[in-house]
Amino acid sequence: MESMMFDSILIVCTGNICRSPIAERILRLNLPDKKIDSAGTIAMVDKPADPGAARVAEKHNLVLSNHRATQFTAELGREYDLILVMEKSHQEQISRVSPETRGKIMLLGHWLGQRDIPDPYRKSHEAFESVYRLIDQACQSWLQKLNG
C-alpha cells in the first residue's frame, strides 16, 4: 500500500442505500477523474437511497436522488482496484463471495483506528447525522492518502 495509485474504488455496505452511497458521492466529488461506485453485500437491488440518508446528504450538499442499489458480486469486485467496506463483517462476506479480492479490501474507517462505521438504517436523524460525520472523516482521511 506504499503507493496509493487506485483508478477505481468500490464502496460496500449492507443494503447499499445508506452508508456506501454517501461515501461514494463524497469520494466522487473529490476524485472526479476516478471510477467510484458502491454496492451492498445484501443490497436492496434497484432501491433508491434511504430517505434518512438522502436528507442528511442533501444537508451537506450531496445529491443521492439518482442512486440505485447494486448487489456486490465477484465480477463486480474484479472491476475495482480498491474495495472500501464499512464493517469488518463486510470484509468477511466479500472474501467469501470473491476470495481473489481479499487483498484489496480495506475498511473505510482504516485511518480512523480501523473502526467500523455503524449502520443508521431505521434509526434517528441524529444517528444518520453522526454516521455522516464519521463517513466524511473516513473519506477525508482516504483522500489525504490518495492525493498525498
Instruction: Provide the annotated active-site residues.
Output: 13, 19, 119
Cα distance from N-terminal residue to C-terminal residue, the chain: 13
In 67-124, alpha helices (H): 74-78, 88-97
Q: Which H or E element spans position 137?
A: helix 125-147
CA 94, chain centre distance (Å)? 13
Question: What are the grid coordinates assigned to 15, written together?
Answer: 443494503
| DSSP conformation class of 71 | B
Find out whether 120 and 128 touch, Cβ atoms under 8 Å.
yes
